[in-house]
């Protein structure tokens, strides 16, 4: 961050934390109450996103990029940072049996990151066959259909007593509920997906009796430079998730394309 010079190619952490509160000072700026993020409707007024030729960010939001990385790859660092932070929230995953619920971009990146960190096996669940297929193409060893009547048997064959870590990236109540059944005693559920602001009933007795750890993961933490190194050293092939590239002038087509859940993962907008 400190070595940002005029003309440098950078990627930006879209979250601008205050930098002075206790959370920021203790390295947990993702929890800063005064954060302003590019492209959010959670504040009043809402903030603009970055579908533009020029965007202003603070220097400390910038992370210098290696010269050999292209723009499409650079733009994937933000979702990778979400996945990387989530995997770190789970603690050590090396050798652990991991399930990711939800085969959207963040779920896929969480599975790929867990695998890069040595998790074995890594499985992914999604009700869409196309997303399970995409996961397998990206190197996820096992995929399951969460609606399958034989799910419990499939999970037993994969893991024995359940998964050590479940990343809930579907942002679906049913997926979170199922995570409590699929995690092993003493295991960890990491909540990445957004489930809205309403309260949700949860099997808290299982949480207690089976000593399940249930932790949240909010955006990125300070992982952008680490994400850059992971991509640069090809630990995670983020480019494989880009299913379309369109110019900025065709932004509405790009958004429509990105909304086609059965076929699209990430659609890249080319600026300039």
Footprint of Zn ion (CB under 5 A)? 17-18, 21, 24, 32
CB-based contacts of 27: which residues, under 8 Å, 6+ apart?
A: 221, 222
In the complex with Zn ion, which residue's Cβ is closer, 32 or 144? 32
Residue of closest CB approach to Zn ion: 32
Going from the C-alpha of 176 to that of each of 67, 83, 168, 188, 202, the distances in angstroms are 41, 17, 6, 12, 9
In the complex with Zn ion, which residue's Cβ is closer, 20 or 215? 20
Whose tokens are 């961050």? That residue is 1
For the chain, the 3-state helix, strand and coil shares in percent, each to the nearest 5, are 35, 20, 45
For residue 36, the minimal CB distance to Zn ion (Å) is 11
At residue 50, the 3 state secondary structure works out as coil
In the complex with Zn ion, which residue's Cβ is closer, 17 or 134? 17
In the complex with Zn ion, which residue's Cβ is closer, 1 or 202? 1
At residue 172, the 3 state secondary structure works out as coil
Q: Is the dihedral of CA 144, 148, 153, 155 positive or negative?
A: positive
For residue 21, the minimal CB distance to Zn ion (Å) is 3
Q: Is the dihedral of CA 246, 247, 250, 252 positive or negative?
A: positive
> CA-CA distance, 162 to 173, in Å (whole number)?
20
For residue 26, the minimal CB distance to Zn ion (Å) is 10
For residue 23, the minimal CB distance to Zn ion (Å) is 5
For residue 210, the minimal CB distance to Zn ion (Å) is 36
DSSP string for 180-236: HHHEEEEEEEEE-S---SS-----HHHHHHTT-EEEE--S-SS-HHHHHHHHHTTSS
In the complex with Zn ion, which residue's Cβ is closer, 15 or 93? 15
In the complex with Zn ion, which residue's Cβ is closer, 35 or 101? 35
For residue 44, the minimal CB distance to Zn ion (Å) is 19
At residue 246, the 3 state secondary structure works out as strand
């Amino acid at each position: 961050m400190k070595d940002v010079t005029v003309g440098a190619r950078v990627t930006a952490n879209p979250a601008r934390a205050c930098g002075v509160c206790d959370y920021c000072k203790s390295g947990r700026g993702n929890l800063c109450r005064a954060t302003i993020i590019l492209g959010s409707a959670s504040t009043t007024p809402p903030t603009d996103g970055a579908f533009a030729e020029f965007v202003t960010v603070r220097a400390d939001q910038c992370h210098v990029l290696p010269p050999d990385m292209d723009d499409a790859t650079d733009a994937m660092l933000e979702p990778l940072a979400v996945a990387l932070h989530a995997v770190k929230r789970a603690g050590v995953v090396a050798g652990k049996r991991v399930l990711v619920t939800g085969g959207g971009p963040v779920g896929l990146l969480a599975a790929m990151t867990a695998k890069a960190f040595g998790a074995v096996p890594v499985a992914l669940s999604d009700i869409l066959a196309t997303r399970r297929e995409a996961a397998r193409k990206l190197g996820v060893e096992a995929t399951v259909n969460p609606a399958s009547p034989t799910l419990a048997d499939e999970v037993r064959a994969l893991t024995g007593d359940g998964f050590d870590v479940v990343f809930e990236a579907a942002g679906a109540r049913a997926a979170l509920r199922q995570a409590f059944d699929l995690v092993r005693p003493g295991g960890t559920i990491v909540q990445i997906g957004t489930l809205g602001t309403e309260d949700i009933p949860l099997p808290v007795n299982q949480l207690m009796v089976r000593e399940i750890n249930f932790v949240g993961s909010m955006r990125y933490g300070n992982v952008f430079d680490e994400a850059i190194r992971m991509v640069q050293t090809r630990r995670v092939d983020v480019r494989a998730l880009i299913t379309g590239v369109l110019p900025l002038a065709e932004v509405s087509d790009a958004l429509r394309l990105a909304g086609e859940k059965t076929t699209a993962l990430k659609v890249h907008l080319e600026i300039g």
